[in-house]
Amino acid sequence: MIDSLQAGYGIQDAVSFSTGKGDLAKAILAHTSGSSAEVYLHGGHITSWKTFNGDELFFLSRESWFEPGRPIRGGIPIVFPQFGGGTLPAHGIARTSEWKLSGSSVLDSGEVCIELTLLSDDMTLGVWPHEFALRLKVMLGAESLTARLSVDNSGLDSFDFQAVMHTYFAIGDIGKCAVHGLEGVTLIDSLAGCGKSAESRPAIRFAGETDRIYLSAPDALQIDDEANGRRISIAKNGMADVVVWNPWVNKSKRISDLGDDEYLRMVCVETGVIEHPIHLTPKETWSGETVFTFGSI
């Protein structure tokens, strides 16, 4: 499989393939600046994004599963067609499905690009009875990583879906981390279970379990990893909502694929469509993207 991926989509000094954890196939993206990224075909899952000096920007749990049918804990899990619990498996079927490579290139900008596709099949139709094509385009620049998600309705009936990039960021210390850009935004506190409220803080800091859905949030956000003196800027487009999550002590102990102490070095700032699911009629396409850029505080 690796040989055929390399033959079909390998690009010298830019895109290569190898067997990763759990003997799962992964793509390795290398930018001329020295930045890099890794993407598993399992789940269409971006698991690593490193700066030109090798600093890892995405969190990946040391306890993560790397096996068919189970989601990887960290990087960017693709949540589709359902966010959270409901009639489908939690966070949907995309993150536990086997995606295929569908393209690779080096753009005129110098960004290294691959595309992965997940097509509905008997397995997905047995869980969610709609025909779709889900595509993830990953573009790696010197200081940026762009993830663009699109959904084609390839069937004969309309359907509604939610889609979220459930991004886990690596940080030095959750006690020295701030998320900027959500002041005044209407939110649902998943822990409080009581309607909507407004974010009163210019900067969100963490002193306990945090699980909040921000509705129709601004497209520009910022994560300050103060312990490392690093800033991650987030620019979303076509993705109205944001989720901020840290499991803290007790929930971490209940998550078997997360180390008990790992909450100290991670924060999820997720981008997607949650409150107003997208309605696609046959042959319609939706797309949304998030651009991540790293820099210093």
Residue from 130, 166, 262, 289 carrying the catalytic annotation: 166
Bridge partners of 134, per DSSP, are 118, 151
Residue nearest to ligand TA6 (CB): 245
Q: Which two tokens stand for residue 182?
A: 């959500």
Lay out the sheet containing 25-30: strands in order across: 15-19, 25-30, 36-40, 45-50
CB 91 within 8 A of CB 83: yes
The two three-digit tokens of residue 230, written as one number: 């690093």
Closest CB to ligand TA6 among residues 9, 83: 83
Q: Which residues contact 261 (CB under 8 A, 6 or more apart)?
A: 252
| Distance set, CA 224 to CA 21, 118, 188, 267 (Å) | 30, 34, 23, 11
Nearest Cα neighbor of 278 from 127, 161, 157 is 161
Q: Which residues bind ligand TA6 (CB under 6 A)?
A: 71, 84, 90-91, 166, 190, 211, 243, 245, 268, 270
Q: Is 166 a catalytic residue?
A: yes
Contacts of 187 (CB under 8 A, 6+ apart): 196, 197, 198, 199, 212, 213, 214, 215
CB of 258 to ligand TA6, least distance (A): 8
Least separation in angstroms between residue 216's CB and ligand TA6 is 17
**What's the closest the beta carbon of residue 166 comes to ligand TA6, in angstroms?**
6
- 199, 262, 270, 289: the catalytic one is 270
131 counts as catalytic = no
Q: Closer CB to ligand TA6, residue 84 or residue 218?
A: 84
* Closer to ligand TA6 by Cβ: residue 107 or 191: 191
| Alpha-carbon gap, residue 22 to 5, rounded angstroms | 18
Can you say how many angstroms the Cα of residue 53 is from the centroid of all Cα atoms in its chain? 23
Phi, psi of 5 (to 5 degrees): -65, -45
To the nearest whole angstrom, how small is the minimum distance from the Cβ of residue 145 to ligand TA6? 20
198 burial (CB, 10 Å; 0-12 / 13-18 / 19+) is exposed
Beta carbon of residue 281, minimum distance to ligand TA6 (angstroms, whole number) = 28
- Written as six digits, the tokens of 278 are 């997208």
Q: Residue 211 or 275: which CB sits closer to ligand TA6?
A: 211
CB of 34 to ligand TA6, least distance (A): 31
Residue 49 vs 245, nearer CB to ligand TA6: 245
Question: By C-beta, is 79 or 101 nearer to ligand TA6?
Answer: 79
**Catalytic residues, which ones?**
166, 270
